[in-house]
Amino acid sequence: MLEQNPEPDIVIVTEVKPKKVRYKIQPVELNMEGYASFSSDFEQEGSRGIMVYVRLSLIADQKYIGTQYNEAVFVEVKGDSKRENVNIAAIYRSPNSSEKNDALLCELVDEFCKAGGKKILVGDFNYGQIIWRNKYANTADAKAAVFVDCIRRNGLIQHVNRPTRYRESQEAHILDLIISDDEYIDNITHMSPLGKSDHVVLKFECEAEYGEMQVGHKLNLNKGNYDGLREFVQECWNEDKLECCEDTEQLWAKIKGALEEGIKKYVPKVTNWRKKSSWTHPVNAGLRSMIRRKHRLWNRMRETENEEIKSKYKIQNNKVREASRIYEKRVQKEVSEQCKGNPKKIWRYVKSKTTTISKVPDLKSRDPTGMEVMVSDDEKKADLLADQFSKVFTVETDDVPQMEDKHCKVKMEGLTITEEDVLKKLEKIQVNKSPGPDQIYPRVLMEVREQLVKPLTALFNKSIKTGQLPEDWLSADITALYKKGVKMMLAITGR
């Protein structure tokens, strides 16, 4: 957590892929509502998988470090200044890691520490041979000593001093570490494990001033003065104004200008709008109470080592798992029962399970000399993706195939669009849809439909007569969608 907040700002989970699975798990299956997700390469054979979740209001980007160590995810959370950026490395190291892999891990730590801003390394390192006391470490194991030396030479501090893994008939060890480059980690709490895991959940706070995403101005369509807007739009039109427009571009500019000016006058704005946390689907009070009881039993079990309390904890843990599954099934049943009356709800649920909220990370590209470079600037990322996608577009030739002459039984004398046709279409507009690049909302078009009938009819007929469309109608918002592979290679592979 970056500050005291009922909900964590950042959630990190290691070993998200079970050792034995019947099918390949995809990152999209592990979405968390209200968070952007960043993951390691799930396609890599033998990997256990890492997920990093960052609250959507924070400005965060996934970073890549030029090392061959694979089980790591790097995320940079933007701060108020360049110095206050928080760089987070989520790492998993297998207990059977080879000396070569350990050397790669130390190389990764060295490279990570070169970044500016605050640095935090979190994860399951599986160095049970290291004894951590008061941020100092001792070990007699040669492999572990290499890691300890790496921590010391980079001036890093390890903050966890209590065991993080408990397994019956085995000694408890500190395997999960929280490492930083300074004393800004506070309030570390050991919580009960997730599900059947034998690793505790670590919760901590980081003192940092971070920037939040500015949503900007959003129209408050429900509080618009539409009577005033109708009068304003009506006064903008007369026969002379329509006839004086020579082409479709000029006519559309007058229509769009009148709408924009009217919206500015009669539809209020909401500054820095964002979704309220209460809009997310809450866990019911009964399940929350069961989870709290599970945490209390865990703490008592660790303090007393009492067999009776241990038995109660296991029973309560199983109850929580069963109740969680029942709760999820009930949510799915409610969605399915409303599929006909409220289809948006089921499609919203499907989208939450099939799409991942993830931003475009740093992209690897090549400069004019052929050298590989990393691109972090948003505008340059957009240019790279546009250049890559333009290369794979189909270029149409001027060669038009010859068509056979066919006898036409019914000849189209002419096509004329009437005001009744336009009004019918405007009345059927779905007001809940988002606007296009012109930022004219369907709700506004619906409210002033009768005032827009005449100018829009004139625009459509002029377009048919001249064979021209307004430039705005040829524009579109294009979004790069990640499919698979390494994200930083998007500008090179185009996948």
pLDDT in tens, 205-234: 888 766 665 555 688 888 899 999 999 988
Least confident of 64-73, 282-291, 304-313, 361-370: 361-370
Between CA 313 and CA 301 the distance in angstroms is 8
Least confident of 60-74, 113-127, 185-199, 346-360: 346-360
DSSP secondary structure, 269-283, as one string: EEET----GGGS-PP
* Residue 201 and residue 181 in contact, taking contact as beta carbons nearer than 8 Å: no
Which CATH number is correct for 10-213, 3.90.950.10, 3.40.50.12780, 3.40.50.10540, 3.60.10.10? 3.60.10.10
Q: For the residues 310-321, what does the mean pLDDT come to?
A: 91
Q: Which of 124, 127, 128 is nearest to 170 (CA)?
A: 128
With 90 as the cut, is the pLDDT of residue 315 above it?
A: yes
State the maximum Cα–Cα separation within the chain, in Å, rounded to a whole number: 95
The pLDDT value given to residue 3: 43
pLDDT in tens, 163-172: 898 887 788 8
Share of the chain above pLDDT 90, in %: 25
pLDDT in tens, 81-113: 555 788 999 999 998 888 999 999 999 999 999
* Residue 484 and residue 43 in contact, taking contact as beta carbons nearer than 8 Å: yes
The pLDDT value given to residue 278: 44
pLDDT in tens, 400-420: 777 777 777 777 777 889 999
Cα 196 → chain centroid: 28
The pLDDT value given to residue 11: 93
Spans of all domains in the chain: 10-213, 215-274+358-392+413-495, 277-354
The pLDDT value given to residue 13: 92
With 80 as the cut, is the pLDDT of residue 146 above it?
A: yes
DSSP 464: H
> In 111-195, which ranges are E strands?
118-124, 131-133, 136-138, 157-158, 176-180, 185-191
Q: Tell me the sheet residues that pair with 53.
A: 11, 37
Between CA 76 and CA 230 the distance in angstroms is 48
With 70 as the cut, is the pLDDT of residue 195 above it?
A: yes
The pLDDT value given to residue 172: 86
Of 393 and 97, the structure prediction assigns the larger pLDDT to 97
Tokens 């990093």, residue? Answer: 52
Q: Which of 321, 284, 80 is nearest to 192 (CA)?
A: 321
* Residue 64 and residue 76 in contact, taking contact as beta carbons nearer than 8 Å: no
Share of the chain above pLDDT 70, in %: 88
